[in-house]
Amino acid sequence: MSKQFALLLGAALALASAAPAEQPASAQPVIPYDSLMDSRVGIDGVIDNEDEREYPATYADKASGLTAHWGFDDSLIYVGLETRGRGWVAIGFGSAKMNESNMLIGYYTEDSAEVMNQVGANYAHARSPQSDSAIREAEIDYDEDTGVTTMEFVYPLRFPAGEALAVPGLAPGGTYDIILAQNTKSVSLKAKHTHRSVLKVKLADKPQPKKSE
């Protein structure tokens, strides 16, 4: 092997390891398990893949115009959503329709920014103080250089009790309906989505502990 070829191969492998593990749009999205999510992800409104990928998996959804970065650990799910829109952005867990969907919705303007938990009821949704308090961390920001709005949050796998939700939570190995939606122009939550899609998403199985010899 020539020295030049070896250098090129090393550079290619370095780039491959730094790039996000983007899943093919035709494949069912899988949210990976990683016991070190808390140390690898920073909830700051920026997806940082410069040195190594921040999230263990990335899914670019053409229908909604959103790119989802995600992973989970023993008790929490970590999600980052990116868009070139300037309105609200949302993800809903557990239902293919708005009704009984557990939704995280955010918006960013120069004057205000917020990420909130809302629960779908029929064709509407309302903020839930009980669910809002379940959000462990959240941030949304807009990068003027790239034109990208990013919303990040950490949320329990076990959803708050007492809500009218389609599922009580997310479990490793399970497959769930997830809604991705946004309004690319308006931050008003009364404004209907401009882009939306429904996905069947699987949470990966947790690795089984090794048996001691």
Please give the full DSSP string across 7-19, using - where no structure is assigned.
HHHHHHHHHHHHS
Mean pLDDT, range 149-178, rounded to an integer = 95
Q: Is the pLDDT of residue 26 over 60?
A: no
Q: Residue 188 is encoded by which pair of tokens?
A: 């008003």
Residue 134: partners with Cβ closer than 8 Å, 6 or more residues away: 117, 155, 156, 159, 160
pLDDT class for 22, splitting at 50, 70, 90? Answer: low
Tell me: the pLDDT tens digits for 160-172? Answer: 988 889 999 999 9
pLDDT of residue 165: 92
Q: From CA 135, how far away is CA 170, in angstroms rounded?
A: 15
pLDDT for 200 equals 97
> Is the per-residue pLDDT at 178 higher than 90?
yes
Topology of domain 20-203, per CATH?
Answer: Immunoglobulin-like (2.60.40)
Check if the beta carbon of residue 157 is closer than 8 Å to that of residue 76: yes
Q: What is the overall mean pLDDT for the chain? A: 88
**Burial degree of 184 (CB within 10 A; 0-12, 13-18, 19+):** middle
**pLDDT category, 212, cuts 50, 70, 90?**
low
Res. 208 pLDDT band, cuts 50 70 90: confident
Mean pLDDT of 74-96: 96
Q: Which of 113, 81, 95 is nearest to 163 (CA)?
A: 95
Bridge partner residues of 155 (DSSP): 77
